[in-house]
Amino acid sequence: DTAVSQTPKYLVTQMGNDKSIKCEQNLGHDTMYWYKQDSKKFLKIMFSYNNKELIINETVPNRFSPKSPDKAHLNLHINSLELGDSAVYFCASSRLDRSQAFFGQGTRLTVV
Amino acid sequence: GENVEQHPSTLSVQEGDSAVIKCTYSDSASNYFPWYKQELGKRPQLIIDIRSNVGEKKDQRIAVTLNKTAKHFSLHITETQPEDSAVYFCAARFGNEKLTFGTGTRLTIIP
């Protein structure tokens, strides 16, 4: 009965590879997000989708491409992975009024 | 865009004492201010939030105060316990804009 779930929890991959992280929410929320948390714990928004429509794209390299097949899912595909992409990526969702955001458990991406 | 500053970056308090974390924001139109707690290796979770039409909100040992004129808001934790040890994030948002997070405060409760 997890509210926001993302997979995988851990991802170790080599530079140059392409990988995807999946996210699903069962809260009936209209808005979903991807956040990146670096080694200093800074939480920065990457993307926001509202009912499958891209709302926010925060100067993220175009190697990162979010995809929302429906309002309950927001996946993140990353091409040509770089060392600097290593971080914890959190998916989150909220109601349309963007009040409380519920976070997934995070995906720790390590690029070697 | 919104800019949120958070202080201190680290805070150690003796068990049973109070802890205060402060944040300032730049956009005077911001109207929603949540606080998140992130335990080691876990996801951020909302612990309390306040809207701009309220000056103070309390939930058991946790309280948040908001000073709209000065554009700052604070988290107060009283009677701290070891399980309060975590990283705490403040955030601010205007309307339906994005939620902007502070840089986090690592709180350590000393038994």
Q: Which residues of A touch B49 (CB under 8 A)?
A: 99-100
pLDDT at B91 over 90: yes
**Which two tokens mark A97?**
């009024």
Task: Decide if B38 touches A, using CB distance below 8 A.
Answer: yes
Q: Could you report the per-residue pLDDT of A35-71, keeping only the tens digit for each?
A: 999 988 899 999 988 888 888 777 789 999 999 999 8
Chain A residues with beta carbon closer than 8 angstroms to that of B45: 103
B78 to chain A nearest CA, in Å? 23
Residues A91, A23: Cα–Cα separation, whole Å = 6
Q: Does A72 touch chain B (CB under 8 A)?
A: no
Residues B57, B48: contact at Cβ < 8 Å?
yes
Q: Please tell me if residue B31 touches chain A, with a CB cutoff of 8 Å.
A: no
Mean pLDDT confidence for B46-53: 93
Asked whether residue A1 carries a pLDDT value surpassing 80, the answer given is: no
Give chain B positions within 8 Å (CB) of A103: 43-45
CB contact under 8 A, B98 and A43: no
Burial class (CB in 10 A: 0-12, 13-18, 19+), A94: buried
Which residue from A minimizes the CA distance to B49?
A: A100
pLDDT of B77: 98
Tally of residues, chain A: 112
pLDDT in tens, B2-17: 789 999 999 999 999 9
Contact across the interface for B96 and A98, Cβ inside 8 Å: yes
Contacts of residue B87, Cβ cutoff 8 Å, sequence gap at least 6: A41, B37, B38, B39, B104, B105, B106, B107
Put simply, the answer to whether A48 touches B98 (Cβ < 8 Å) is: yes
DSSP-assigned letter for residue B44:
-
Q: Which residue of B has its CA nearest to A43?
A: B101
